[in-house]
Amino acid sequence: MRIAGGLALAILTVGFGTPAEAREPRSPDAALAELLDAARSAGCTSPGADRLIRVLCAGRLRVGVREYYPLFATRDGDVRKGYEVDVARDVAAKLGVSIDFTRVNAASRIPLLAEDRIDLVIATMGHNTQRDGQARFIRPHYYRSETILVGPKALAIADWPNIAGRTVCVTIGNGSNADLVAHDARLLLFDEAGVLPDRLKDGTCSLAAQDDSFFAEAFTHPDFAARFGQKFGFAQVPWGMAVERSGSDKLARALDLISQIFHRDGVFLAAARRHQIATGFLEEQQKVWRSPACNTDSGNTDADCVLPALDTELEPTRFAGIVKAFEDWFSEITGIELSLPMLTTVPAWSLLLDGIGNTLVLIGGALLATLLFALGIGAALSSTAGPLRWLAKGVVVLLQSSPIVLTLVVASAIAHALFPFSATVALGTAIAALGLANGSNAGQAIGEAMLTLRQEGANAHHGQTLFARAVGRSATQIVAFLINAAKGTPIASFIGAPELLSALTDITSFSSGRATTYTLLLIFYTLVVMVVVAVCRRLQAAIESGRAAS
């Protein structure tokens, strides 16, 4: 009877009481006290009892925390410390129970909740729409991280416009990579965030983007803090404690209220200050939860008070289902796991189509530019005017002496001094640089052919000028450098040209399937170059047959 009475009171208090609009708002403290009283008076043996009742009956709260996330949750022997550890202890104290910690990581934190091995997870977990289906997140959120861009202090970078065309080191699968891609940054991908501070220190990366909570530890080292600084932050993600979705309604409600109270009373803020993590978000939240509008028992469900989950769902393509079925079928018959992320979501599909289109423009442009520069430089080298010939020779030696990457970088620096960065400018610059580098070599071949023709005392005949005969004589070299230009086009991604390599790197930065993606890329480019080789060989044969006929 006592059990039934307690449960009835709890149900009335929590879910089915007087409609919110019909009753006076209460303080979260009063609502929490009522909820806990009701749960304490409920029976401990009732099957299917809410987790709150089980926690109170057991007198202990099982909390999943990380064991190596500096400043947030670390373990040294039996000593655990960090912001999240303190939050867990404060929560347990508020519930009046002891605490049992369980080690979790990014992969195990939600499954352990589902398996009922822990009651609560507090483990650097970003609250996004995908995870909403896997766990019940506690609101208000207990922390918010953002992705920060870190680089040498001497590097003048203040906002997005300074990022275009620059290389940023990131980790694969980080949702904020899409923001960097959208602002024309080039990405250098790493598997683990742990290597980023070292890659900054050894100069491999001049910029790195990662969670501010990750870099917080690096900035506690004086040598790192002296050399590097935060440029700006973006892609804020609220962090949530979470409980299992089923059978935890009252526990979740209690934690919602506790979280609300902790913000208002500065409990979260004090813990954050103790561990020297960023407190900007918590200071903002304290103001919110101290306001009369939010400091009520319904504040944690008020959209004006709580933050929404980060929307990370990518729109699927119309044919995503077919692609998935094909991936499964292929894996089943070959045993090889196939992943085609570029075909399954609209943003990736769009990047792929743009990448293919830009690649074809780039190859066509590079071939045309190589031919034009070859003819121009060849004509200058064949000129009887000494200064023009020497100028052309100087250009050829200069271009031959510069690695193609450096030629692209120089061209890019000049182009960006003249025009603001854009995909079109990057493509145009790459076409010009590839054309110049290969055209200068082909032009040199034309010049040398002209020289031999003159030494042989050859003249124009059958309507063919001497220059045309020199072009015909150097056809093999011209074709070789045209092929070289086509093969060199992927390097345009180095200066931010949005061709296929660049597009697929962007796609794999926020999805899976790197092995498949880069294998397909290699096949694509090899086939394209083979087609260019076949076309160029035909062109060469046509030039040579024309030369033979004359």
**Footprint of another protein on this chain (CB under 8 A)?**
152, 154-156, 167, 169, 188-189, 191, 199, 202-206, 397-398, 400-406, 409-410, 413-414, 417, 487-491, 493-494, 501, 505, 508, 514-515, 517-519, 521-522, 525-527, 529-530, 533
CB of 24 to another protein, least distance (A): 60
Q: How far apart are CA 201 and CA 152, in angstroms?
A: 9
| Residue that is written with structure tokens 């804020």 in the block | 236
Q: Angle at Cα 417 formed by Cα 413 and Cα 423, nearest 5°?
A: 70
The pair of structure tokens assigned to 467 is 């220059």
Nearer to another protein, 189 or 423 (CB): 189
Under 8 Å CB-to-CB from 45, ≥6 apart: which residues?
none
Write down the least CB distance from residue 467 to another protein, Å.
26
506 token code pair: 């962007």
Question: What are the Cα distances from residue 240, in Å, to 135, 147, 287, 363, 383?
Answer: 10, 17, 19, 49, 74
CB of 526 to another protein, least distance (A): 5
Shorter beta-carbon distance to another protein: residue 224 or 281: 224
Cβ-based nearer residue to another protein, 191 or 284: 191
CA-nearest of 375, 367, 362, 325 to 489 is 362
Query: In terms of CB distance, is 188 or 320 closer to another protein?
Result: 188
Least separation in angstroms between CB 302 and another protein: 46
Q: Please, which residue, 451 or 522, has the CB nearer to another protein?
A: 522
> Do 155 and 206 contact (CB within 8 A), yes or no?
yes
Q: Which residues are 210's β-sheet partners?
A: 148
Judged by beta carbon, residue 39 or residue 500, the one nearer another protein is 500
Residue 127 or residue 487: which is nearer to another protein going by CB?
Answer: 487
Of the two residues 322 and 541, which places its CB atom closer to another protein in the complex?
Answer: 541
Closest approach, Cβ 529 to another protein, in A, equals 4
Tokens of 487: 């093969």
CA 351 from chain centre, in angstroms, equals: 14
Least separation in angstroms between residue 180's CB and another protein is 16
Give how far the C-alpha of residue 288 lies from the chain's centroid of Cα atoms, to the nearest Å: 31
Q: Which helix (H) or strand (E) holds 137?
A: strand 136-137
In the complex, what is the shortest distance from the CB of residue 233 to another protein, in angstroms, rounded to a whole number? 21
In the complex, minimum distance from the CB of residue 188 to another protein, in angstroms, rounded to a whole number: 6
For another protein, the closer of residues 301 and 526 by Cβ is: 526
**Rounded to 5°, angle at Cα 235 from 81 and 186:** 110
CB of 417 to another protein, least distance (A): 5
Burial classification of residue 377, based on how many CB atoms lie within 10 Å of its CB (0-12 exposed, 13-18 middle, 19 or more buried)? buried
CA 400 – CA 495 distance, rounded (Å): 20
Within 13 Å and on the Cβ side, how many CA atoms surround 453? 21
Using the minimum distance from each CB to another protein, give the nearer residue, 353 or 530. 530
Helix (H), strand (E) at residue 323 = helix 320-334
Smallest distance, Å, CB 314 to another protein? 21
Contact 43, 83 (CB under 8 A): no
